[in-house]
Structure 1
Amino acid sequence: MADNKNKGKNGNRKKIVYIFLSIVVLIMFSLLSAIVSLALIYKDSIHSGISIEDIDIGGLSVVEANSRIEGNLLNYLENDKLILKYNGDSWKFNSKDLNIKYDFLKAVNDAYLIGRRGTLLDRVETMIDLVRRPYSISLKSSVNTEIINKILTEIENQVNRPSLDAKITRENGKFIITKEELGLRLKRQETAEAIKEQLLSSGFYDVIELDLLVENVTPKYTFEKLNQVKELMGTYTTKFNTRSRGRSYNVDMASKSINGTLLLPGEIFSFNSIVGPRTTKNGYKTAPVIFKGELVDGIGGGVCQVSSTLYNSVLMSQLGIVERVNHSIPSTYVPKGFDATVSYGVLDFKFQNILDVPIYIESFTKENRITINIYGKKVNNRTIKLASNIDKIVKKDTEIIFDDTIFEGKKVVEEKGRNGYKVSSYMFIYDNGKLLEKKLLSKDYYRPRKEIIKKGTKKRIDKQPDNEEKLSGIDTNN
């Protein structure tokens, strides 16, 4: 029994010694670990398990790490980074071309700070985690918008292609239409945004391949649109005196200017914009023009006959009048109330295409006539008649001036006067001969002109007989 008790006591002592030694070893290990950890935490180098773009920089100082990163990655800046493609062509750019900046030093500083933030426990946990899961830092890039825009400007010059309008001409009474050609246009803003987005989200080693965003450009006039111009909508003809050569020449010049004009739905025609300034430089000649109610010589005389003829053709076509002014005196080539005067920079004649199809203006002179036809697409079979009514004749005033250089009983018309008129103009719309509408177009006033007459007051002197009378057969000496 005594032996058993001694054995039991010895076993307990061994256990106590074992436990004590274990505690001492544990304390020593913990102290050693703490010392090692502290040494590692506060060492002046980047912790192990950290890399930048797959380049290991663990154990290196900031300066050493930055040197290693630049030495390994700078050459990659000359490799292709961006490849733009379109229609079999490609444009290649490296990081230097794009002026992409990578902040190597910032990445190294970020790497140095890993495991050096938070409490001591946080730092130890970070170091332990780096052993199990190494951490790689990706470089951040900056994009130069100005360089991207410059690149796209150069590409635009190679990609962009202007569109070509369809054309319509009238020859021998028929329309001839040539088809349009679509243009190409780089969608510059959208492409630039796509490039920036791809560059900012890409990795350092990634090569971006991007298709250029290009759109078709449809021209203003297409075959489909112009092919709707088929029917004569309205026509009007006026006569001019071919003996007035300057005036006839001007009429023909202005007529040719508006011939072939196209107006899409909603567009407004401006006579002054189409014909341009009536100057000698532009080929116009001197001819009588109306100025302040008087006929005087001026450059471009006769052009108003073209605008007036066009006005009537527009009315016959039932298009929308935007701007129209009557002359100060009635014209001889159109009825009162149906003239349209123009003066460049002052008075214009404008009308609008209110249809849903284009219209085409044909204007030409032949012999002593100018004819203007407007083609489009009729919406009905109605017929138009134009008429005006003289609401009032404004009698001219007469001024008598007595002149002592003119003999009594004689008179001279110094300035020939004329009556004025107040006129209402109407459009009559018929359908199968039945009047549907009487439409007031305008109320115009043509000013009267005073007539000035000079009457003579100079006295006539009658012829007197001779003072000496010769008496035949009388002897005066007696």
Structure 2
Amino acid sequence: MSSDDRTDDPSLSPEPSDESVTPDADTDTGVLAAALAEPEPDDLPPVDRPEGFDDTAVVPPVVPPTDEAEADDDEPRKRRRWPWFVAAAVIVLGGVYVGGYFFTGSRLAADTTIAGVDVGGLSPAKAEARLDDELGPREGENLTFVLDESEFTFAAPDMGLSLDTEASVDAAGGKRSWNPLDMVDTLFGGDDYPAELDVDSELLDAATATIAQTVDVPVTESLITFPEGQPVATQPADGRRVTSDGLLEALREVYLVAEGQVEIPTEVVEPGVDAEGLEVAMQEIAVPAVSAPVVLNVGDQQIELPVSAYTPALQIRTEGDEMKPYIDPAALAGPLTDSTTGIGEKAVDADIDIVNGAPVITPSKPGIGLQPEVMATELLPVLTATGPERALTLEAQPVEPEFTTADAEALGIVEKVSEFETYYPNTQYRNINQGRAASLIDGTILKPGEQFSFDKVVGQRTAANGFVQGGVIEGGRFVESFGGGVSQVATTTYNAAFFAGLDDDEHKPHSLYLTRYPLGREATVNWGTTDLKFTNSTPHGILIKAWVVPSNSSRQGTMHVEMWSTKYWDIEAGVSAKRNFRSGSTVYDTSPECTAQAAIQGFDVDVYRTFKQNGQVVKKETKTAVYRAGDAVVCGPPPA
């Protein structure tokens, strides 16, 4: 067979060559198809091959594709297509999401109302304009708050409240949002929203404080005291308070919507320790605290500190959520000193008195005793102890006086700078009452800048304080009351302070003019309502000396007051003419307590005080005394 014949016969394999070992990538597809379709080698007719020819070197047969191979070829093509679908979906959803974001800020949901105003479907700008039109005129209306029987009315601006239309529209959905729920709500939702407020916190707090003064109920904390050496419990009770935050929240719901009254919101304030905890403290602290005296070991001495020495200073009080004992060192000082006189001596203050017409200082003296501050701290742990453990080991130390010799010398009390005296007829109640008041004032020392108060120094005029009943002026008439005549002590003291140049802080002339006193320059007192007060405005101390020379059947009584210091002012007094005269009427009194009196003319008068130093006028002051007219009082019925 010729070589040309072999080439043309499709049933014959080509001659082996280097180029036929590996198929060329550019092999014609028709040749490849023919190769795929050529019959098995066993079916081929015999071919003469050269000796040594190896037909295995021929291109290996190509296995025809099966259905499974075709399926495997389709799968990669499918896998290459699905990422495009996912990407397309993400792009579409992202576009919808971004569009939703811009949509949320374009208009409000269809069924939206703000403080009762319909703003559904409006753009934010139009919604704000509608709120201004409909709610703006109502902002000046008063707000009324009630709780129980209490009622308060405020103008909204006085509470620091004003409508914030922009914030109100934003809160109702008028601003853009990335929240998908807000996007859905813009399409299908809608609700009623309260008005948002601009709040001036200072004004709101001030209004809340005004309400709280009436509404708040202070919490009653658990407490144990020892009024007579035995524990007495104060039961806890809830308190009540109104807060700015609570009031504001209530206002948000009703502001510009509700008419009428607003219920004041309050919150309960619970005590730190309840009744059960109080009972535990009573049994574990209070009862053991008074079970026995406390033994004090001081040096070689051993004494018992009685329960009565420390219980006046002892409390078991609430601290946070527990009860703890507390001892007040100041309240402990007095009883402690009295109870431990066997250990030391009390400190003695310096004293200044007038002896033979001159001031004399009695030196102070330090004491030796226990320190109240130390005792207050170390006594607490042993109050719940028993047996040998109920004891303290302490050291007695020096106790300095409160008013030392050096303090007394520094006051510069060296001479009499003013004095005054008044007189009264022989009256026993005046002897008693004026003598008692004078004894309480005598020896009073005013340091520079310190104020004198008649009520504080003399105290209440009662039988327990050593006073009896006597004549006083009430409502322009003379009646009987405790302390009658004490105003003469006040008048005499006032004049001594007047001429010493002390500051007149408070004084009131009698309602009726009494001729035994200097015109316009006198003072009355009435416990709790009318006081005499003056301040030592000089750079030196003031010692007040006061005493009474009692009246008797042969002489009138004399009230004396002197001021001792270092001379600072020269005082000159003056008085104007009387003016604005007035007269009373005639009153008939059939009561058993009636005291007849003649008519007394009323008038005004000015009192002058001139302050001089080294002959030069430094300042002047004027005080006006106003005297009312006194009615003529006739005891009995009016004439027919």
TM-score, scaled relative to structure 2: 0.38
For the pair shown, which has the larger CA radius of gyration, 1 or 2?
2
Q: Relative contact order: is structure 1 or structure 2 higher (C-alpha 8 Å, sep ≥ 6)? A: 1
The structure where strand makes up a greater share of residues is 1
